[in-house]
Structure 1
Amino acid sequence: MKAQLRKRCLAAREAAPITARAAAAVRLYARLMHLKGRTIAGYMPIGSEVDPTRVMRALSLDNRICVPVVTSKGAPLRFREWTPGCEMAPGAFNVPEPVEGGWRVPDVVIVPMCGFDASGARLGYGGGFYDRTLAGLSDALIVGLAVEAQRLPQIPRGPHDVLLPYIVTDRGVVGAD
């Protein structure tokens, strides 16, 4: 069932106008621009994911930025420091990751997704990387990033699925502050 939902959400995200993805990124910046002295985990976008890299650049003026690195199957993600213009190389799943940089534990985690619902349930890509990671970051502020086209009425949840406190979209914010 989740595989069918993923296909549906990815098709909807792909069909969403680029202006919707840009609007979601602008809303994300508006939510996080006040942060200073924090360690913020962004991500390097793949496919039609909302691109947070401009937000990461802007936030890097007052914060440390890091991005996820897959170290092995079944393990939580680790986060390596990222700076604008740092040397990147393809990592797991061909996602770019910094070649050098210290390992960081984020205070804020920006999370990509295939789909979401109003309860904060997130439909990921099926590897469980973010669920394993977020379970170990209970003190971090978790922020989902998506376009409204990715919203589903309900996502089936398993025992290890982590609810997101809020999700920023092109049309607003889903969830509590």
Structure 2
Amino acid sequence: MAAPHTSSPSGLPESDPPALAAAKADLRRRLRALRAAAPLPGAGATLVRRMADHVRAALPPGGCVAAVWPLPGEVDLRGLCAVLHEDGYGVLLPRTPPRGQPLSFHRWCPEATMCAGRFGTLHPDGASVRPDLVFVPLLGFDRRGFRLGYGGGYYDRTLAELPGVPAIGFGLSAQEVPAVPVGPYDVPLPFIVTEREVIRV
């Protein structure tokens, strides 16, 4: 998030100032190219194991964990979803609404009917459920806990609607940058999980 030009009903800014928006867009292009050119063999599976361990330490079985269904180039969390489901957690996946609205989360199980969403996403059918923990995807991150997302602002709006719900960034160590461009409204994540470590901010 960044200093507003206009504000949404949630009070979050609609857009970054031009210079900040340009810096973020340039970094997004570079990180997308890096992710496509240099995948780390086995890193995704290691990351998934570390994410599962983090959930077990942070939340008792029965709690609801929001994950994501993979898009091309993203870390595949389907293994995490299966493991958490087997361990007795509720697994939620997001439905992407029109831009400017927060995500809603819907319960997944191996037999769930998956519905096509915006931007090539898939989500389970059924009523929305409030998560107890949210895993937040990212293109890049820094040691301060700031993340660079895809530019739609969906997670900024969603987390603002979920005060008190832990938000955990996840990505590969190769996605770390020295400093994510941020504005006065950007909020760091308390944890970022990579295949190498859990970064506590």
TM category (shorter chain) comes to over 0.9
Task: Work out whether residues 117 and 153 of structure 1, in 8 Å CA contact, stay in contact via their aligned partners in 2.
Answer: yes
**C-alpha distance 84-13 of structure 1, shift in aligned 2 (>3 A):** same
Instruction: Give 1:23 shift.
Output: 1.4
2:42 match: secondary structure? helix
- Aligned counterpart for 1:4 among listed residues 19, 26, 34: 26
Instruction: Give 1:102 shift.
Output: 2.1
Residue equivalent to 1:29? 52
1:65 match: secondary structure? strand
Q: Which moved more, 1:157-166 or 1:62-71?
A: 157-166
Residue type of the partner of 1:81? R
Residue equivalent to 1:69? 95
Residue equivalent to 2:4? none
Instruction: Give 1:16 shift.
Output: 2.2
1:106 aligns with 2:131: yes
Residue type of the partner of 1:131? D
CA distance in 1 between partners of 2:141 and 2:94 (Å) = 20
How far does the alpha carbon of each residue in 1:38-62 deviate from its partner, in whole angstroms, 9 at most, with x for none? 0110111112211222111111131
Residue equivalent to 1:80? 106
How far does the alpha carbon of each residue in 1:50-92 deviate from its partner, in whole angstroms, 9 at most, with x for none? 1222111111131211111112210011111111231112201
Task: Work out whether residues 166 and 173 of structure 1, in 8 Å CA contact, stay in contact via their aligned partners in 2.
Answer: yes
Q: Which runs of 4+ in 1 moved over 4 A?
A: none
Task: Work out whether residues 16 and 147 of structure 1, in 8 Å CA contact, stay in contact via their aligned partners in 2.
Answer: no
1:58 match: secondary structure? helix
Instruction: Give 1:161 shift.
Output: 2.7
CA distance in 1 between partners of 2:162 and 2:187 (Å) = 11
Task: Work out whether residues 81 and 101 of structure 1, in 8 Å CA contact, stay in contact via their aligned partners in 2.
Answer: yes
Q: Which runs of 5+ in 2 are unaligned?
A: 1-22
Task: Work out whether residues 71 and 120 of structure 2, in 8 Å CA contact, stay in contact via their aligned partners in 1.
Answer: no
Aligned-residue CA RMSD (Å): 1.4
Task: Work out whether residues 27 and 170 of structure 1, in 8 Å CA contact, stay in contact via their aligned partners in 2.
Answer: yes
1:119 aligns with 2:144: yes
CA distance in 2 between partners of 1:38 and 1:65 (Å) = 9
Instruction: Give 1:13 shift.
Output: 2.4
Instruction: Give 1:130 shift.
Output: 0.4
Instruction: Give 1:7 shift.
Output: 1.5
CA distance in 1 between partners of 2:33 and 2:52 (Å) = 26
- Aligned counterpart for 2:181 among listed residues 120, 133, 156: 156
1:104 match: secondary structure? coil
Task: Work out whether residues 50 and 145 of structure 1, in 8 Å CA contact, stay in contact via their aligned partners in 2.
Answer: no
Q: Which runs of 5+ in 1 are unaligned?
A: none
Residue equivalent to 1:39? 64
Task: Work out whether residues 134 and 162 of structure 1, in 8 Å CA contact, stay in contact via their aligned partners in 2.
Answer: no
CA distance in 2 between partners of 1:83 and 1:101 (Å) = 12
CA distance in 1 between partners of 2:102 and 2:184 (Å) = 16
Residue type of the partner of 2:97? T
How many residue pairs get aligned? The number is: 175
Q: How high is the sequence identity, in percent, across the aligned residues?
A: 39
